[in-house]
Chains A and B, each alone.
Chain A
Amino acid sequence: MGEAIVITSGKGGVGKTTTSANIGTALALQGKHICLVDTDIGLRNLDVVMGLENRIIYDLVDAAEGRCRVQQALIKDKRFDCLHLLPAAQTSDKSAVSTEQMKQMIEELKPDYDYIIIDCPAGIEQGYKNAVSGADQAIVVTTPDTSAVRDADRIVGLLEQEEMAPPKLVVNRVRRINEGDMLDVDDVVSTLAIDLLGMIVDDEEVLKAAHKGEPIVMNPNSRASLGYRNIARRILGESVPLMAIDQKKSFFSKVKSMLGLKA
């Protein structure tokens, strides 16, 4: 019996879809059976990020309304046999699916997979309610800026009212910053007061990968990729240390810190 994990954030554009695609792919890399579910009806993106937009025949709304079986709407990933995608409809809107229908579909998928990753739309309206209704766990994605953290806080408050385990946090697009110019990861964690599942450093490679329709985790040399792979390992129960934000130190600074001087 699989576990359904919803990826949500409140605010748009913080990387829910990218995170969903990459956590899903990273788990598939570990040989797990994964189903990605895009619940952003009307504004579907997950299929594009995964590079699967050409293969869609049926979608979530078709399955919900009984025009096809849920299994028929699934698309098999081109890279992994164990990774499937249930795409959202592009022509309807969020009200096309009810929370009951959503719950039923997720229940139907659970026996066939290890994890079901639900990509939640931005906002706290019907789309959010649908995405959360079927989930057993939640991951809140935020970036280290005030407005994203404020929205994440709201979402955490709403998730606490659901019957599920306390949500986990992913801080996306972390940069190396000067003290006081921006929030750092510690500020975000102390404000939200939930467990940190992982952080993803800001990496241009993510954009390039999305453009190619290939999740960044497929590139083993990217630091963002490593962040997502670590998150996947933590979801599977391994304990993996957080990686340092500033890895690219010059040779000189390394020598200096070795000598105990200030880097």
Chain B
Amino acid sequence: MAQAPEVKQMSTGPAKNLVTIKGTKEGLTVILDDQCSFDDLTKELKEKISNDKQVFGDGPEVEVKVDAGYRYLLNHQKEKIKHLLEEAESILVGEFHSEVISKEEARREREETGLTAVTRIIRSGQILRIRGDVLLLGDVNPGGIVEATGNVYILGTLKGIARAGVEGRETSVVCASVMAPHQISISDAIFYAPSRYEKKESGPLFGEPVYAYIANQDLEISFEKTRLLNQFQSAAAAKQGETLST
């Protein structure tokens, strides 16, 4: 991990200013020094809170953000800091921010955002489960299942079941070269294909590659031509950005 030189210099001074409370336009941020020992940190935090108790006083509750810099906070350490801060009755700890994450978290994050390419046929009775997006080069035969926490892209014929966003990501899509599925699900929305007998003719539902997506609030699955997928995904990304910033 990269070091933060300016922070380091600050902490070489006497053992004070380990805890800085800063007002930003998003609210109060408690900046914790990331070079000292955790014990020193909690000691100073305790002092600071008891001194400043009257500053926060009995005004309305303020939500503060905790910035731990390059320190990795374990869960029980987070609990302790949260507990200390909330000694001052009007403080409510919001989120913890840290520049470092554990290897495990990093691996999971990479999985969740990564694309896994698989070259095989998913036959009846077989299940392919992938974290993140999956690109399947092959068919999904009737009775076969492909599951992903992200998007499902199939370069081949989807005749079985595809599940995208199995952990609830509603912007996920199921995309297939030839769409003739038994069932598609995205997050909690499920699409059942018309049964063989209801269909006038056998074969794919569409004459060209399509993707399945959640169209509206009613969690209804619709299909759209794959060449329009970029519009959907950029709209979804914009929407996600909006919810993050608010």
Contacts and interface: CB of A to CB of B under 8 A. Distances in A.
Q: Is the pairing of A and B real?
A: yes
Interface in B126-170: 126, 139, 141-144, 159
A191 B202 contact: no
Most buried by A among B124, B143, B202: B124
Contacts of B159: 191
Contacts, number: 33
B141 A153 contact: yes
Overall SS of chain A's interface = helix
Contacts of A241: none
Contact of B201 (A157, A158, A180): A180
A150 B142 contact: yes
Given A180-B202, A193-B121, A154 B139 contact: no
B124 A153 contact: yes
A56 B144 CA distance: 43
Most buried by B among A150, A153, A192: A153
A146 B143 CA distance: 11
Interface string B193-215: 00010000110000000000000
Given A180-B201, A180-B202, A193-B139, A154 B124 contact: yes
Contacts of B141: 153, 191-192
Given A191-B141, A191-B159, A193-B139, A154 B123 contact: yes
B125 interface: yes
Nearest to B139: A193
Nearest to B202: A180
Contact of A156 (B123, B142, B202): B123
Interface in A142-195: 146, 150-151, 153-154, 156-158, 160, 180, 191-193
A154 B125 contact: yes
A157 B124 contact: yes
Given A191-B141, A191-B159, A193-B139, A150 B201 contact: no
B194 to A, nearest CB: 15
Contacts of B126: 157
Interface in B166-205: 196, 201-202
B143 A150 contact: yes
Q: Which 8 A-B pairs have the closest CB atoms?
A: A157-B123, A153-B124, A154-B124, A154-B125, A153-B123, A153-B141, A157-B126, A150-B124
Given A153-B144, A192-B141, 5 more contacts: A150-B143, A151-B124, A154-B123, A154-B143, A156-B123
Interface of B: 121, 123-126, 139, 141-144, 159, 196, 201-202
